[in-house]
Structure 1
């Protein structure tokens, strides 16, 4: 019997970078949230692990053996092989945690079929800083490198959201390297709605330096009826939150009409 999972798109409602660490990583505070759409994975029992990639952005993942889905399977004990088909619907290197979301979906598939080992969170962190949050794919606060998670009650659940990407990949490393190193203060306390409203993304400025079209996306989204507009992660995807589905549909249509070459996805926060 085939199992299916959605690799929910991750957005950072706020991302405060506090300092560079000696190990090359950055100390940060972030509010993770997840959209109710993303990549699609289906899995069936097999003699050995297999991975097949299809979908709009499949061509950007040319080496299946280097894919994080394959790595996630290798990180988790499982008695039965899994043949996984990945429909790659999220752009790659886009600030949406696409690969991390795919890995999180694999963890959930293994959890459903055989259960996860007690140290699953450590195994997830070895694959990437966003992976532990993506396993649960529920709103949470991340500290440290993003792997120290605290659950939150999401008062933004169900909020309409528009994701927009210029179809320009933007690697995380150069954006963090371009950060100016200034600590602009801690992420605010309170419910997700308050953190999203008063927080910020400290990587917006360095990302725009590398990929100027991000500023154009933010400007276009701010011309819609959005409640909040921000870049996600290290970019280049930006998001906007709306009061209702009608405002979301109007914004999506407005954006598509003015920039039909940009990728977009609509949905709701989980």
Structure 2
């Protein structure tokens, strides 16, 4: 079995209020890139996870890894030996761990089927996991687990992801949020929400990782029709009209900032 854990981006992320349980009410437009981590699996006597790839070193607790926990959420008659090729940076606003868990759910769905309460099991792993199981553009409300359909007129759009190779803890960014209601998401298809929306976590994230501002400035200097920070950072994305403009931007940014991580793809 083989699955791609598609990188998640937030076309817009509006934080509405802090909840008494410590979480935040938000409204977001999820979108997914057609590249990300890669998972392969084969049947085994018991579940196990092996992590390889550029960012494997950042996942030093295999039992606490969300992909491993996803295996434990979905009991089967036989085990799975999963190899995770970690290509996405960790704590990067791309939902990498949640995307890995979503890919595990899809592999198990394909071979064994999922229990009726799979959405609740996914949400117990993390707020982004239910959206990452389907990895299709959608609206997320509440903590991000209340999902609604989204007219996706951006499918196929070339996208460039850029990260300064600096992990940024989601909890710390939310804690630094200024408490101002960002307001409701705009109505309309994905393109309208992307153009008229915002990321309400951008300012607190830049306060903790100033390199985000440098990336946004670099993307602003390209031919992208939209650039924004994703999630709680530090990855930023840019959307382009065509592949040539995206690839030219990628080369220019790599030449001027060779230490930054980047990945090219298209929106699903």
Query: Quick one: distance in 2 between partners of 1:24 and 1:37?
Result: 32
1:78 offset after TM fit, Å? 1.2
Aligned Cα root-mean-square deviation (Å):
0.5
Query: Quick one: distance in 1 between partners of 2:66 and 2:182?
Result: 33
Q: Which residue pairs with 2:11 in the alignment?
A: 13
Query: Quick one: distance in 1 between partners of 2:217 and 2:253?
Result: 11
Query: Quick one: distance in 1 between partners of 2:59 and 2:180?
Result: 35
1:269 offset after TM fit, Å? 0.1
Q: 1:16-73: CA deviations, max 9, x gaps? A: 0000000000000000000000000000000100111000000010111111111001
Q: Which residue pairs with 1:88 in the alignment?
A: 86
Query: Quick one: distance in 2 between partners of 1:173 and 1:153?
Result: 30
Q: Which residue pairs with 1:79 in the alignment?
A: 77
Query: Quick one: distance in 2 between partners of 1:25 and 1:48?
Result: 35
Q: Which of 116, 119, 126 is 2:117 aligned to?
A: 119
SS of the aligned residue for 2:247 comes to helix
Equivalences, count: 268
Q: Which residue pairs with 2:104 in the alignment?
A: 106
1:184 offset after TM fit, Å? 2.6
SS of the aligned residue for 1:66 comes to coil
TM-score by length of 1: 0.99
Structure 2 residues not aligned, in runs of 5+: none
SS of the aligned residue for 2:250 comes to helix
Deviates more, 1:230-239 or 1:178-187: 178-187
Q: Does residue 140 of the first structure (1) align with residue 138 of the second (2)?
A: yes
Q: Does residue 261 of the first structure (1) align with residue 262 of the second (2)?
A: no
Q: Which residue pairs with 2:59 in the alignment?
A: 61
Structure 1 segments, 4+ long, off by >3 Å, are: none
Q: Does residue 243 of the first structure (1) align with residue 231 of the second (2)?
A: no
Query: Quick one: distance in 2 between partners of 1:264 and 1:84?
Result: 26
TM-score by length of 2: 0.99
